[in-house]
Structure 1
Amino acid sequence: MELRGLNLFLFLFINRVFLSLQSKEQVLLDMRASGSELGWLTSPYENGWEIVQTVVNGTLFYTYSVCSIETTEQDNWLRTTFIQRRPGTSRVSVELSFVVRDCNTFGGASVACKETFNLFISEADADVGTNFRKGQFRKVATIAPDEVTQGRVLKVNTETKTVGPLSKKGFYLGFQDVGACVALLSVRVYYKTCPSTVQSLAVFPETVADALREVEGACIENAVSQATPRIYCTAEGKWVVPMVQCQCLAGYEATGDSCQACKPGYFKPSVSNDLCQVCPDNTKPSASGASECLCEEGFFRAPSDPPTSACSAPPSAPRDLTSMTLPGEGKLQLFWSPPLVTGGRSDLMYSVVCKLCDEASCIPCGEKIRFEPGPTNLQDPTVVVSDLDSHLNYTFTVEAQSGVSQFSAERPTATITTALDYTDPPKVTEIHLADRSPTSLSLSWTPTRRPPAHINHRYELMYRRKDDSTEGDVTTYKVLILDKSFVQIDGLLPATTYTFRVHALGPEGNPGSYSADHEFITSPLAAPQFGNKPTMVMVAVFGVAVILLVVVAGLLLRKRRLNARRRGGPEDPYFSSDQHKPLKMYIDPHTYEDPNIAIHKFVTEIDPSVIGKQKVIGVGEFGEVFRGVMKIPGRGEVPVAIKTLKPGYSEKQRQDFLSEATIMGQFSHPNIIHLEGVITKFKHAMIVTEYMENGALDTHLKGRDGEIPPYQLVGMLRGIAAGMKYLSDMNYVHRDLAARNVLVNGNLECKVSDFGLSRVLEDDAEGTYTTRGGKIPIRWTAPEAIAYRKFTSASDVWSFGIVMWEVMAFGERPYWDMSNHEVMKAINENFRLPAPMDCPSTIYQLMLQCWLHERLKRPRFLDIVNFLDKLLKSPESLKTIADFDPRVSIRLPSTSGGDGTMFRSVAEWLESIKMSQYKESFARAGITTMEQVLALRHEDIRNIGVRLPGHMKRIAYSILGLKDETSSLSVFAV
């Protein structure tokens, strides 16, 4: 009777459900789609599983049910037909739809009733027919319903199990009933594939989705890559992390998923994904597929010019070349104007050539002539020429040059012939001693340039005894006027130093500049010989002087040390005053033999009477977390957060619970969560901390995209970095730094919290801490910490980079829905999270520095704080936005709803991009189809009623992704 009642329920259910389910999966078995006898075996043949036939709308459907609850130890089996496994498929998904009756509805007959059944599998290389043996099956899972059916309203359950690994050619599924009242409505066996697709101009074949699999592809026609294109196929049938990008050949540009030849008049010079460009100026029209546009006649490109530059002509000759004599020794300055024709180039340079010419020939001026700044590569139309002779005529030739001058046979130049106007006398720089005696000195000198033949130079020589000066510091010189450049001066004193200076006189007596002073000494008179006594006296005097210097130096050094000790100077830097004391180091509470000693040493005990609970705000590892108040003298009632220890705890749980407070009690920093104290002398232990109104950072940021400007986000990151620098300075590693473990108060100040995974850094060579096991937050943990379970401040820096990404992505989950295995594999293959939308380029570059694989190359928290301070002092540095791919950072959906067709509704699309709050706004605006969505422009989105900038960008970028998408599945690329 109960079985007939269950079959009636099945009939009612089948008439209500929608059977036409569409899917992209490759189906191996579909019980519901079968239109004939299923042929499944039952054991025992009677009183076990029973097939039920039902006709709905003229179509025959089969279901299996069993309801043997009268006796115990039921063992009823149902076996499918042989299911062929596709080669390359090692795992399949089994989707079950079933109904289970509540055992309580059977009254007294429910003593042997169960509410579960078992799923088994048996592999085989061939169909064994009706040869059914239970021992060949292995158990996959116990199938339990989420809801049981009590009345006439059926509670249909759907359960999907992954079965594998599979190795043989096929398999059977077995269903064991051990005493339940169950109806098996549908069994569907399928596997997923990543469909054939074109990504980054590479073709990838359809691939069986079996865990994370690397797939090789090939570049499309007219595209190449340096390495074989590769991409990963996930177990969910999605393409992720393409590793190599193909690029169109020279002369071709990317158009959709193909490389098309450049149109006539356009060109592309290299292998790249750039678009074809219009041929530049002064070039011939190009043919289709051109990689270069050739220059017209008379125009050229320099060897350093890229093919994208315009062709240019050589410059004409410089104009208006003139000269001017400069004051000084043989200096002349040349001036000229730029040429009328520059050829359209900006690399115009000039060169100057000097020659001495007569009626017969010209010869180079030689190396004596100097040019300032030089004779070639002159950027300004002027040059200074020096060391010229005043009696010669010089011919100067100036040529304008550019990068294409070498290709022209004509070299237009400007020429001028000129000579110095002799006005100033030459300069004398050196005076030489030719001979000396006790009473005379013979001197000579040479002027810096040779005078013209018709001019005779005269010189004025001045000299004096070096120590000869009158009262009032007025020095008396003797002056000689000479016609020659040498002289012998007599009547001098023996062994005496004399100072000399000389200058030339011009034709009209005008003086030139004086030479520098030169000192010469006359010879001493011959001295009588008195043996070695003077030498002995000198040595003795020198020795006494050395001894006195050593004694004085010793006394001064001793006095200096005594003074330093009295005032606490450099000899005693750490103990002279409190301000020189080093930062205290963290002490691991686990090193205490008695944990209670550590608790009382570092934590304040609070009287339970001053604490009042108000509301549960969360659940921690050990119990509930309350918002409450604490009465503090002088401050009144202060809001606090109260962590409680749930009833029935063990002593070890109590010690673990209080150890976090022992850690927090050692910290005092504005960006570390402040511990008020603990309650241990009460039935239920409590930890009391400051209350952070806005809760966890990741939760606070979600949904606020566009509300918080980048400058304020950087300020929040600076606070987190400052807190981590404080911990690092104390030789302490956090191990679980993530946005969920950072709390935010009402002023948007961020404070590091949750020290449950934290440990002190051991005092060893590398400053590392090796864990003894336990969970590791893979998405936030550095690769060396995952691989070797060794943690340093450098691994905390990696985690801080992930926190930066979370903040700039407004609480987005790092690595999206990739599995932990996929995350680890991608990181080891140098994949890094892409820049979030609207992320400043400087911030993203800092993230990449935090994610360097070699930990010693990552910045320290001190460096990070200083860098963020500089950005906050220069807000304009945050205006440059990092490159952004919306298909990466937003995880845009495909244009299909998962079954290869267009999204069935606008509401479904909005829900997929987490913008479902605008469903009514789109409906009021008349946007009811996806075709209308694709036609929306930026101003249309605003008119619909989307006002927040972040929401506008998310919707706009989603539409952009829908337009660009060419496959039926969404992908994300790097």
Structure 2
Amino acid sequence: VTLNGSQFYTYSICNVEEREQDNWLRTTFIQRHPLASRVFVELKFIVRDCNSFDGASLICKETFNLYTSESDADVGTTFRKSQFKKVATIAPDEITGKNEMHINTETRVVDGLSRKGFYLAFQDIGACIALLSVRVFYKTCPGTVQNLATFPETVAGAENQPLTEVSGVCVDNAASEELPRIYCTEEGKWAVQVGQCQCKPGYEEVKDTCQECRPGSFKAEASSDACEPCPANTDTLEHGAVLCACKDGFFRAPTDPSTGPCSGPPSAPRDLSAVPQPSVGRLILSWTPPEDTGGRNDITYSVECQRCDGVVCHPCGERVRYEPASMKLTEARVSVSELEAHLNYTFIVEAHSGVSQLAGEAQRPPSRSNVTIFLHYTGERGFNTGCLDHMSCSASQDDNLDKTTYTVLTLDKNSAQIKDLAPGTAYLFRVQALGSDDNSEGSRMEEHFETLTEGTEQNPCTNGCFYLFIPFFFVFRKRNSHTRQGPEDTYFSTPEQLKPLKTYVDPHTYEDPNVAVLKFATEIHPSHITKQKVIGAGEFGEVYRGILKAPGRKEVAVAIKTLKPGYTEKQRQDFLSEASIMGQFSHQNIIRLEGVVTKFKHAMIVTEYMENGALDRYLRDHDGEISSFQLVGMLRGIAAGMKYLSDMSYVHRDLAARNILVNNNMECKVSDFGLSRVLEDDPEGTYTTSGGKIPIRWTAPEAIAYRKFTSASDVWSFGIVMWEVMAFGERPYWDMSNHEVMKAINEAFRLPAPMDCPSAVYQLMLQCWLQDRAKRPRFGDIVSLLDKLLRSPESLKTIADFDPRVSIRLPSTSGSDGSPFRSVSEWLESIKMSQYSENFTCAGIVTMEQVLQMKTEDIKNIGVRLPGHLKRIAYSILGLKDQTSTLSVFAV
């Protein structure tokens, strides 16, 4: 055959004018990969239009059949038709006419292979066909490196083995606490990985490898984190450092983490002062914290007391008392009592930190002086002088002083520290009490003092200073004030501010997501949980069926979602956020959260166990076995759960039958809050996403177009769920692409009524699918309407119009090319009832003309018992009969 200038070698046959054709073409023996139990057969072929043959169109065919036969050895040219079983009837998408040629490509699956090899065979029953190529292949999950684990190329499993577990090996310089494994799907794609590898200490992940940390950086533990820069006051010049050493002069305390910064000892305390309290017989020492803390916050202080006689100083002994203590003080203040009169006391305050002992030096106040003069008031008659120095002190007035300096202070306290006095200088001190108006004069006292000359040994104060104590001389200033109402007063006094808070709290608003989890979910000890069987693989890890036996509670079956090892902190937060959401709900039609495991290594989310699993699969498994009344009851439960969420100003965003779970009592519960978001206080508030996938077939048109979601868009999704339920899990919009679905909806197309759907239920679906979201019913209205239907079962007997040509969404009245079906098997395959091919053959129904004569009783008599299957076949035959204009061309 020559096509577009290229030659193709073909196997062809064209006996269209002869009746009872039965021509076979068999392949050579095809060796099977030991693990490939499922193979795909891709055919490229040309089929001639029967109408292009004059006089032969009535007996001409436009299809052929594909067969297979297994064997453990090559049988050579031996051929027996009985050894082959049919795989499929092959029909072209495009037929070749007189003036044009079209190459068709069809792919079929051959499943359940178990022997060493197999043959393919092609049967022609009267068509004009040219077979260009046959490609036989199986699917594999390609060799890959994921999360630092290497997984080999793996043959995809068969349909009855959708997940194949594959073990991996960590790359060099990586390790995993448990054996890394991953699942290969039947479509040749890798699913969720369990047991993530992590780079060892001193290594970080770089493009699926673990590379050494560069100098100046380190990594102390095996993790998915990158190497970190060395902390403050540390460094390393090595590659692959696990820790960074302290620089000279810096240390780590024994309690400091080995990965933390290093620090130095603190500098000296500043501004040490002593204030006596004669009335209670104690002295208050206070100071300012060190200017340089060495980078630490564990600063403590110690106070040492020395009693000096002449030039010799001795420890004060145990008689002196300190409040609260003399060691490990955390505040820059201490009270000292039990001091003796007329003695010179020296107090030394030292600052300490966790590394002071390692540094080998203590920090002391930098300045001292031997001049300490106390003036203390003994009564109303004046001052007495007390000498607390080792040398004599004089209180006499010297009228011949060369220089007199007056220092005047206005104070509202009973003491003052005078600094920067000149040595060898006489000073006059005058103390006067003032009235409340700061002008009236009270009693006044004066005293003269002379500082020491330079070179004299000094003690607590440098360059001369003294403490001036003036007990009971206080200046009180009256301050006017007025009451001002604060914002909090306004809040509690304004009715608008007293409105109740929104019931639902978005956990994403918490600065620390862990707080949200602890607030809304109960912590479970992992010893109370027993895993029994893997029932699925979620986004973050495996899902188990298990048992929860908490103290004081009855043992209950639960579903356990796990978080795969090697997770990042963000993955952990995303994983637990669903629990933070779910834990806020309490309704019989919302999946119940039993609790979480967060305080142990392996995080888990524990929910009630729903025995019948996802609603869509449950309906498909029980097609036709559930009455319309029961289906409406299930819808009523879903609507009640959604009303509860809507009343909490909460939008689900991913309402679909796959996200509804069913228990043993056929009670439906809304689940999967991964895409959910809270609405704002505004009843018309929306949630706008910044990206991500949208489930097109279930999503309202305004949400698709503008990525805005409301409770009204959830109502649209509920309408799709209603259709799924009444159609026993049929896929919405069948095999239409997402683009075709969006185009059809925008052109006002709506899903037709499913088979045997009550008219009232279908009308409610159409109300949910109104283009104007404001006109759609609310969930409260939906619950009320469904309750009304359930109270009046008679209202469910009126069935909506059903068009099998649209509702089955398959060419139920013609072949894939628009021409009538050529065989019973081809027709049954088109309506997904090919399992009954043998029933029809055994009953002698081998032509489409015979099919058209069948009634419901005839269908039952050949062995079709399931109500749903019985109706599907019967309605399809009804659709065939309606196409009277096409029946005249049937010739089988």
Decide: shared fold, TM above 0.5: no
Which TM-score applies when normalising by structure 2? Answer: 0.44
